[in-house]
């Protein structure tokens, strides 16, 4: 008979982190790809327009040359959607959580730089006009903290067998 999984705070926290970050990444990627903040009618043309509009927001950080701005603007939304789905599926979790943490750390560093340089720009995080403020920095910092904890817990969980998949000899008596 199948046993119920014993309550494990670390596993529950890992689940919550996965769902929260997956939701954030899926929303961010879809918003940029489909131009949700711009109220565009869904079409290939509007997707192209939406990505070019996102390029303007990437460019406002004054960090990359124009070709790199276009590359980031056209690949980041798809990468965000892919990462969101991989976090939900849970396959090779330590790998994807590490990647998510690195990505969020990159976002955080970029946002902190823009904030310290007093660049009065839009965050561009969710493809809608959203001024980059101290709250944006705090939000990205909180997401980074969640991502770091999720990665640590994902590695710890990957080292010990799941109660459902462990053989009887592995289980504590």
Partner 1 sequence: MIRRPLSGFATIVVFVALSGTLLAALPAQKSQTKKTAFAAGSSSQAKSAEAAPSVTTISVGGVNDIDPAKAFGSKNAPVVMEVYSDFQCPACKTLFTSTTQKVMDNYVNSGKVFLIHRDFPLPMHAYSRVAASYSRAAAHIGKCDEVEQALFRNQEKWEMTGDVVGTVAAALSPAEMKRVQALVDAKIFEPLIEKDKQMGQIVPVNQTPYTVLHTKSGQTFPVVGFVSYDVLKTFLDQLVAQK
Residues that bind partner 1 (CB under 8 A): 2, 15, 18-19, 22-23, 26-27, 36, 38-40, 45, 48-49, 52-53, 55-57, 59-60, 62, 66, 69-70, 88-91, 119-122, 129, 131, 162, 164-165, 167
CB of 58 to partner 1, least distance (A): 8
- Closest approach, Cβ 142 to partner 1, in A, equals 18
Nearer to partner 1 among residue 105 and residue 130 (C-beta): 130
Q: Dihedral (C-alpha) 82, 65, 54, 139: value to the nearest 10 degrees?
A: 70
Task: Compare residues 61 and 107 and give the one whose CB is closer to partner 1.
Answer: 61
Instruction: State the nearest-atom distance from the C-beta of 99 to partner 1, in Å.
Output: 18
Tokens of 38: 């711009």
Q: Where are the alpha helices (DSSP H) in the chain?
A: 9-34, 44-59, 66-89, 93-116, 134-159
- Report the residue number, 90 or 141, with the smaller CB distance to partner 1: 90
Supply φ then ψ for residue 161, to 5 degrees: -70, 145
CA dihedral 36, 37, 41, 43 (to 10 degrees): -60
């Amino acid at each position: 008979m199948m046993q119920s999984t014993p309550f494990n705070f670390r596993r529950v926290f890992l689940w919550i982190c996965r769902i929260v970050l997956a939701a954030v990444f899926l929303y961010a990627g879809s918003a940029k790809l489909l131009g949700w903040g711009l109220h565009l009618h869904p079409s290939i043309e509007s997707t192209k327009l939406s990505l070019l509009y996102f390029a303007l927001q990437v460019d406002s950080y004054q960090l990359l040359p124009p070709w790199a701005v276009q590359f980031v603007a056209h690949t980041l939304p798809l990468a965000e959607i892919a990462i969101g789905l991989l976090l939900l599926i849970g396959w090779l979790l330590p790998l994807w959580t590490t990647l998510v943490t690195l990505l969020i750390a990159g976002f955080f560093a970029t946002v902190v730089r823009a904030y310290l340089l007093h660049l009065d720009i839009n965050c561009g995080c969710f493809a809608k006009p959203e001024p980059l403020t101290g709250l944006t920095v705090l939000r990205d910092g909180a997401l980074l903290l969640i991502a770091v904890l999720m990665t640590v817990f994902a590695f710890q969980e990957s080292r010990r067998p799941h109660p459902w998949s462990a053989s009887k000899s592995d289980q504590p008596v």
